[in-house]
Amino acid sequence: MEIKRDIYLERLIRRENKTTKKQLEVDFVVTRGSEKYYIQSAFAMNSESKQEQEERPLNAIGDSFKKIIVVRDNIKVRRNDMGIVTIGIRNFLLDENSLKL
């Protein structure tokens, strides 16, 4: 069976578009009045590649609303150069001001 080159290329492009779209999905979008929060959840971010994977969809968003990554570990709250806040799940859930950090 011969697959024509143009059909094969079209399939590859479709697959690539689906993969890219999936990798750029944000886990949660919260709207609170006129504020919006983009929240990624990650079990752990124990490598630079995992951190990049979680930050990629947030960096692709063109607005200036708050972007947060919530991880399982109890970590010190930190903010990167792009303004993305990383916080542990316990602090996120128990601190009533966690969306304002």
Task: Please say if the pLDDT value at position 42 is more than 60.
Answer: yes
Return the domain boundaries, the chain. 26-100
Give which of 70, 101, 99, 98 is closest to 86, Cα–Cα.
70
Alpha helices in 60-98 (DSSP H): 89-94
* pTM score over 0.75: no
Whether residue 71 contacts residue 44, with contact meaning beta carbons closer than 8 Å, is answered with yes
Query: pLDDT band at residue 85, thresholds of 50, 70 and 90?
Result: very high
pLDDT at 20: 46
